[in-house]
Amino acid sequence: MKIFISGGTGFVGEHLCRTLRERGHQLRLLVHRRRGADERGIEYVTGDITDLKSCAAEMSGCDAIVNLVGIIREFPGKGTTFERLHVQVTANLLTAAALNGINRYLQMSALGTRAGAVSAYHQTKWRAEESVRKSSMEWTIFRPSLIFGPHDGFINMLAAQLRLTPIMPVIGNGRYRLQPIHVDDVVRCFALALEMPETVRQTYELCGNDRVTYEELLDMIAASLGRSRPFKPHLPLGVMQMIIPLLQKIPLFPITMDQLQMLLEESICDNKWPSMFGFEPRRLQDGIDEYLSIT
């Protein structure tokens, strides 16, 4: 199968490309700038995913589309907005697919996406999903929880802080829960879905088996680093809800109100996907032990 992938050079995309190539698929990745020559099984094409003509021109001859494009934080001054990267990109891909006669479509969404969501992130993910559901495509939507693995953003960020200091401030009570899933488990579901007709017009929430609080996660990361449990001073939630809106426009400020809202909502689900895809998710502690150096 020849598969067109948007967002294929990101964290999840790199893992997905490796998995799909191992399963014998040919890949075409849309990129802003070429980083080198085509690789075995991967063809790089230059274009702009926010421009319909650009992405439609590069889809010819493909059998399926995988959309991994997404952002966790907006930078409006650079044109990096949820509306543009979630909603507009999805609409462009669906239209371009129709123009090229492509029927199979896989969409990366996010756990917590729903009608009536509070965060702008989830609101735009929901609108993107609605576009997919209303299309004539043979679609499958995945909603992963926090994705962890080598070169992830969140676990590695916390690990970097723990390497510098044993003090890890926690907003609120720190008991909000997460159910992280390993990136290799996520991409395996994507790859299998392309081969499983029964996944057409289905939405899957993807979580690991380990449900932990934010404070417990900090302790697990410390253990992977060979460190003792960090000191976790609690920052009053009400105070942080006043401070964050004032500082979130600073690029280096570590959290936005959207991200805080999603933390407080929690990121957990009832794991029903293993019965469909036929494998169990990797354990959280085992997974982070593999890529966090013991010091």
Q: What CATH number is given to the structural domain containing 203?
A: 3.40.50.720
Tens digits of residue pLDDT in 57-81: 999 999 999 999 999 999 999 999 9
Which pairs with CB-CB distance under 8 Å and at least 24 residues apart come from 70-74? 70/7, 70/108, 70/110, 70/125, 72/121, 72/153, 72/259, 73/256, 73/258, 73/259, 74/120, 74/256
Residue 32 domain flag: yes
Domain assignment present for residue 222? The answer is no
Residues 226-265 pLDDT 10s: 999 999 999 999 999 999 999 998 988 999 999 999 999 9
DSSP run (H or E) holding 164: helix 154-164
Say if 64 falls within a structural domain. Answer: yes
Q: Which residues contact 197 (CB under 8 A, 6 or more apart)?
A: none
Number of domains in the chain: 1
DSSP, collapsed to helix, strand or coil, labels residue 128 as helix
Residue 215 located in a structural domain: no
Q: Between 33 and 179, whose confidence is greater?
A: 179
Examine residue 289 and state whether it is found in any structural domain, yes or no.
no
Domain that holds residue 64: 2-151+181-208+270-281
Count how many residues are written for the chain.
295
Burial (CB count within 10 angstroms: exposed 0-12, middle 13-18, buried 19+), residue 172: middle
- Residue 214 maps to a domain: no
**Using 50, 70 and 90 to split pLDDT, how confident is the model at 143?**
very high
Is there a contact between 137 and 94 (Cβ–Cβ < 8 Å)? yes
Answer whether residue 293 is part of any domain.
no
In sequence order, the β-bridge partners of residue 4 are 28, 65
Residue 72 within any structural domain of the chain: yes
Assigned token pair, 150: 């080598």
